[in-house]
A = this chain, B = another copy of it.
Amino acid sequence: MPKVKLILAYDGTAYHGFQKQSGSGLPTIQDALERCLAELSGNVIKVIGAGRTDAGVHARGQVVGFATGGWAIPTGRIAAALNGVLPDDIVAVEACEVPEGFHARYSALAKTYSYTIFNHRVRSPFWRLYSLHVRDPLEIAAMRQAARHLVGQHDFSSFQATGRPVRSAVRLLSRAEVEFAPPLVRLTFRADGFLYNMVRIMVGTLVEVGLGRLDPEAVPDIIAARDRKRAGPTAPAHGLCLEAVEYDLT
């Protein structure tokens, strides 16, 4: 019973997140994918996603794992078969076979998220679903300085949605970068794991820095406080994109 790792890209605009919401009737990415897998295979195939992206969050590199069960399809043909039936806002990028012990979420070693800001006086009709619009010019150098303070192994409790406690809020943030290609500001974060809303709160904090409302040198204190109230607001979901999930598949 081969196990498959499938890379998925999607525009999250029309979905209430990745994960199935039993009985809610709200459309999710998982629902759409499982429906297509059932249509193609004639079987019930349950998938596990690496990241439970929220409503409106996009993905270029979501990973899902599933067992093909009785579905006799060469792994190399799965992506094309799915793309024949998936709605056009969800795309199967590629599928490969993985060891039986593979678990899309628990086996993940690192994830990378991007967050896009449209930084221009006038909003854009084309970026409205894929970026946060910030009207006033952002101080990129200050944002980079603040981002550097985020990198490292920290207790990120200040950057965690309240009411979602986890056993440990310690995460290793290996990348926090700010790229500027006017009028777009692209933030990229890579970590061994992310707390709930962690990227969006880091972004909200960096935007405060970019607007001059927060000193970049205040970031170490904000981290040390382990207090959600000390960090910036939670940036909206639609600027966020799950770019990649990494595994050790050797």
Q: Which residues of A does B touch, CB under 8 Å?
A: 9-11, 58, 79, 83, 88-94, 122-126, 128, 130
Contact = CB atoms under 8 A, between A and B. Distances in A.
Contacts of A128: 11, 88-89
A118 to B, nearest CB: 11
B83 A122 contact: yes
A191 to B, nearest CB: 24
Contacts of A92: 122
B79 A122 contact: yes
Contact of A125 (B9, B79, B122, B124): B9
Interface centre among A11, A79, A130 (most CB of B within 10 A): A11
Contact of A10 (B88, B122, B125): B125
Tally of this chain's copies: 2
A89 B9 CA distance: 23
Contact of A123 (B58, B91, B94, B123): B91
A32 B71 CA distance: 50
Nearest to A9: B125
A9 B88 contact: no
A130 B88 CA distance: 13
Contacts of A124: 9, 91
A88 to B, nearest CB: 5
Contacts of A94: 122
22 contacts: A9-B124, A9-B125, A9-B126, A11-B125, A11-B126, A11-B128, A58-B126, A79-B122, A83-B123, A88-B123, A88-B125, A88-B128, A89-B125, A89-B128, A90-B125, A91-B122, A91-B124, A91-B125, A92-B122, A93-B122, A94-B122, A126-B130
A122 B95 CA distance: 13
Contacts of A93: 122
Given A58-B125, A83-B123, 9 more contacts: A9-B124, A9-B126, A11-B128, A89-B125, A90-B125, A91-B122, A91-B124, A91-B125, A92-B122
A125 B32 CA distance: 14
A58 B122 CA distance: 17
